[in-house]
Amino acid sequence: MRSSIASLRSAWIKELRQLAGEFIGLASRIGRALQSESSYLDSQAGRQEISQLFEVSSQIELMLDPKKPAAKSISSRMGSIVDSLHNGGFAKANELLNKFKEELSIILENGWSDVKEDLRNPGKSLKSP
């Protein structure tokens, strides 16, 4: 049973990492495009990418426990990144993206620690991701 739980946690980590990478990539592409064309978000490509950014952001939020402070912080940070992009502040968005990466790395590392704990100590109680 513990092995199955560890496997589920591992899948959760993999999906969260993939979505975070997608969010970072989209935000970076939008930011670079805004640097060369300030009205990029008014274009069809810009509207499509910002829509994708919102979708990925929502998927990330749904993977996290909204009661945990780290999840609240990640959610707030993603909102700030989107707001910054809307306001044309790529430098600020880039700074926020770096902080987003740091916070998400902590969440992912904690997830890996939980996987290792599940496999090492089969008698301990289970924690949710």
Is 109 a domain residue?
yes
Two tokens at 129? 């991701």
**Residue 114 binned pLDDT confidence (cut-offs 50, 70, 90):** confident
- The tally of domains found in the chain comes to 1
Size of the chain in residues:
129
Cβ–Cβ < 8 Å for 63, 16? yes
Q: What mean pLDDT value characterizes the chain? A: 87
51: helix, strand or coil = helix
**Of all residues in the chain, what percent carry a pLDDT higher than 70?**
89
Q: CA-CA distance, 19 to 10, in Å (whole number)?
A: 14
Cβ–Cβ < 8 Å for 111, 85? no
Q: What is the pTM of this model?
A: 0.84
CATH number of the domain residue 56 falls in = 1.20.120
Q: Which domain holds residue 77?
A: 2-117
Question: Is 120 or 38 the better-scoring residue by pLDDT?
Answer: 38
Is 127 a domain residue?
no
Cβ–Cβ < 8 Å for 107, 70? yes
Dump pLDDT digits (tens) for 56-69: 999 999 999 999 99
Dump pLDDT digits (tens) for 57-109: 999 999 999 999 999 999 999 999 999 998 877 888 899 999 999 999 999 88
Distance of CA 126 to the CA centre of its chain: 24
Q: CA-CA distance, 45 to 96, in Å (whole number)?
A: 23
